[in-house]
Each structure stands twice: as structure tokens, then as C-alpha cells.
Copies of this chain bind each other. A is one copy, B any other.
Amino acid sequence: MTTLEPRLLKGFRDSLPALAAARQQLIDSVRKVYERYGFLPLETPALEYVDVLGKYLPESDTPEGGIFALRNADGEWVALRYDLTAPLSRVAASYPDLPIPFRRYQIAPVWRMEKPGPGRFCEFYQMDFDTVGVPSVIADAEACCLISDALEELGIGQGEYLVRVSSRKILGGILEATGVAYAEPGAELSPQALTALRAVDKLDRIGRSGVLALLGKGRLDESGDFTPGAELEPSQIETVDRYLQLPRTSRTEFCERLDTLVGGSELGQAGVQELREIDAFLAAAGYSEDRVAFDSTIVRGLGYYTGPVYEATLMFEIRDEKGEAKQFGSVFGGGRYDNLVQRFTGKKIPATGASIGVDRLLDALRVLGRLPDRVATAPVLVTVMDPDHLSDYQAAAAELRQAGINAELYIGAGRFGRQLKYGDQTGKTVAVIIGGDERENDEVALKDLRQGRELSQGIEDRKEWLASQPAQITVARTDLVARVREILDRYAT
């Protein structure tokens, strides 16, 4: 018999149970926070018309514009969505009866045809929340609060993250003040301004000198590739550089310094005013500078932002594969895009929102040790020592489930030793055992599987305590539920 190789597409991955369960847990936690603020769920198709999606990816110079496209049965070009913002703007333009503000969240995969690399996949989850129809930057300020809350809900404490905020209007105003055209009112960014923005957005990766090169003639990177720059004059570059060097002081002080820097630019002044309103909202809500700060280096890479931009950074270092320290970078980011819906409607419909980097956050939680090592959906395995008495085991599993304790009945063909190993493989906490003796004496044996795993892994802070607990106990059959619950409670956090 010829067999087929079970190939997975390059750049894609399976999420086996441990990863899938951890991601599900993260998604559930964040969803809870989105709903706490009243955001409603929305789902849109994976496939959209290519022109409806538009070309807003920073990577639009990659093969096929970075998207997965195909022709449908009618010969039209359609593609897998590359983000959740383009579909939202189509929805906002399509349904006249939507409540305004339209506040929706969407949690779904998106697809980008990127060059695969370690930790980079062509398919990944986004969790977006957006507010459509609100011109006031209160919506942006609230988004920053929500981002803080979501990270804290995930167990990332204050001081371990920072939400950093700026406004496109400020860098725009500074460019204008130096004589660089930013954008016509209501129109796209000028190419020069867009190149300058993207240069600044690369600060984390290429450093100050790299940014300055990209603001000017261009930059030759280590591999010998030359990236053309924004062609600013030296004096213009100097002004932008002065702006980028602004220290992250208090939000009010930051606004005062900006005020001077943007000079007479209307656009710049509008940006400063935006930040002042955001500051007022944040202060009233009790989100101080150690949670949400203003930061001149935040611009975001996407072309469509028009006002406040914000992103959350994790403030601790991790070691990469080579053991070198590196920053985690941005895990949650967004901004205001007041012109995106206008593509469809012709009239301005303001919008703002943010997107979470699900898998990068998962990595962060793993590094912090705040992800359970392995998540069993059912903490109990009812082993089957004697298949002739299957109904006894069925009854035990049913009784546990009835009591609200998820319990798996072992239905494979393995002998007892293999069954316990299966319990370990699937992360079970307790194995329920009924052999001949137990049956005769109306008893049941309970084995604490987790204890064995933690001891063998040498989990230091629990080791001593664990060693003092009996790993297996025999209890009256009638006490099954109560005694299983006792063991589970030991591990409840």
C-alpha cells in the first residue's frame, strides 16, 4: 500500500493540546476583560474581496503582497484576511442599523504570507477590540485602561508592562513644522511622511543611528541590503531626533515639552490636545504613569492611523535560544484610524482600537512561569483494572461528573501501568483505581499523579510538603467524590 506523507504546510503549525489549552485560557481571560467594558462579539468571514481588504500591511512588498489570494468560482480575486480591522471597516460601512458607538471584539486567526522563521507563522490569532463612531479620544484613553486590565488579568503585574502612548498628529506636526508635507486633509499620508514614520517605528530593532539613516538617504544593513530613506534634510532630521529623545517624564510635563516642539503646527497642537484629554481620563481612572505613559517613540507601522497610537511593552528581559538577553517588545497595540471606513462610505466615520499578540503573550507567560505546565481538561482518570466490571468504572466516572468534577474513563486497550502513564501524559491529577480488593471491600484507591510528577521534576518549594503527603490512599467507595475533591483542592491556586 502506498502511503501519503502527512505534510504540514510550511509556515503553519499544529497546536497540540498543551499549547491549544494554554491559548484557550489566555483567550478566555482577555475576552472576559473585553466584555467587562461592554464590547460585543462580531464574526466576519475568513475570505474577503482583495480590494475590500486593501493594502495596509507594512509587508506589502513581500510575495503576492503578503496575502493568501485565490480566484473564486466567479473568477474574482479573494483572499484570506490579514487582519481584523479591514473586515470591521467593511462591516461598519454595511449595516446602517448598527448601534453607535459600535464597540466590537473579534477573536480569530489571520493569515499573512510571510517568510517563516522561528516563532513567525503565516497563521496566527488576533484578538481585537475597536470602537467605531466616537471622535473623542476618550475611546483611546479607555482602550489604554482596557489593555492594562487585560495584561493584569493574565497575571502580568504592574511594573512588568507599560502601555506607551503618542499621537500620529504629533510626529506629523513636527514634520510639518520643519516643512515636510504630512498629508492633505482627509487624504493618505505623503510618501515621505510614511517612510519617516516607518523609520521611527523600527527604533527597537535598528537603534537610533539606524532610524536617523532611514530618515535621511537610507540605510545599509548588515546583510548588505540597502533600504532607501525618507530624504529629510539634516536640520529636519535633527528636529525629529530631538523629539525622539524626549524623556518619558510625567504625562503633564511631557505635554508641555511637546507644546514647544510642535510650534505653530495646527496638526501638532491638535495632537498635544489629544494627549491632554487622554491624560485627564487616565488620571481620573487611577491609571498612573507606571501603567500608561506618553512616549515619543511610539508611532506603529500601519499606514492608516490618524491620531493616538498606543502599544503595550513587557518590561522584563528574556533569554533567547542563544542565551542572550532580549526585550519582549510589543504585545498589544493599536490606534485611531478615522479614515478607514471612509473608503466605503465617502464620509468620515471615526474609529479606534487595538489588537493583542496572542502567541507572543503566551510566550511571555511561559517565560514568567505563569502558565500551567500542562492543562488537563479533566483532572481525574478513572482507570479500568478489570474490563469485565466496566460498569463499576462507568459508575465512578458518572458520579464524579454529576458532582461537577470532569472525569475521563480510560477506554483504551492498555494495561494498568500504561493507563497510569496515560494519566501522566494527559496531565491528570488523580487516578481512581478499583481492583478486586477494593471491589470486595466497597472501597476505591486514589492515586495522586501530580505529586509524583512534581517530585520527579524537583519542584523545590512544594517538594517537602508533597513528600509528607501519601501518594495513594484507599477510601470508602461512598466517599469517592469528597476524597477526590480533597486532593484536587490541594492544587487549587
Which A positions have Cβ atoms within 8 angstroms of B?
A: 1, 3-10, 12-17, 19-21, 23-24, 34-49, 51-52, 63-64, 68-70, 72-74, 78, 80, 89-91, 93-95, 98-101, 103-104, 109, 111, 113, 123, 131, 133-136, 138-139, 142, 280-281, 284-286, 342-346, 376-378, 381, 390-391, 394-395, 398, 401, 406-409, 411-414, 422, 425-426
Contact = CB atoms under 8 A, between A and B. Distances in A.
B38 A407 contact: yes
A377 to B, nearest CB: 4
Contacts of A21: 40-41
Q: How many copies does the complex hold?
A: 2
A139 to B, nearest CB: 5
A100 B38 contact: no
Q: Which of A41, A42, A138 has the most chain B CB atoms closer than 10 A to its own CB?
A: A41
A99 B4 CA distance: 23
A344 B42 contact: no
Overall SS of chain A's interface: mixed
A398 B285 contact: yes
Given A16-B42, A42-B14, A425 B343 contact: no
A42 B17 contact: yes
A142 B409 CA distance: 9
Q: Which of A80, A101, A381 has the most chain B CB atoms closer than 10 A to its own CB?
A: A101
B41 A377 contact: yes
B113 A73 contact: yes
A35 B344 contact: no
Given A12-B47, A46-B123, A344-B4, A284 B390 contact: yes
A100 B422 contact: yes
A344 B17 contact: no
Contacts of A46: 46, 80, 109, 111, 123
A15 B42 contact: yes
Contacts of A123: 45-47
17 contacts: A3-B344, A6-B52, A6-B94, A9-B78, A19-B43, A20-B43, A37-B408, A40-B376, A63-B73, A72-B113, A99-B426, A101-B411, A134-B413, A136-B411, A136-B413, A281-B394, A285-B394
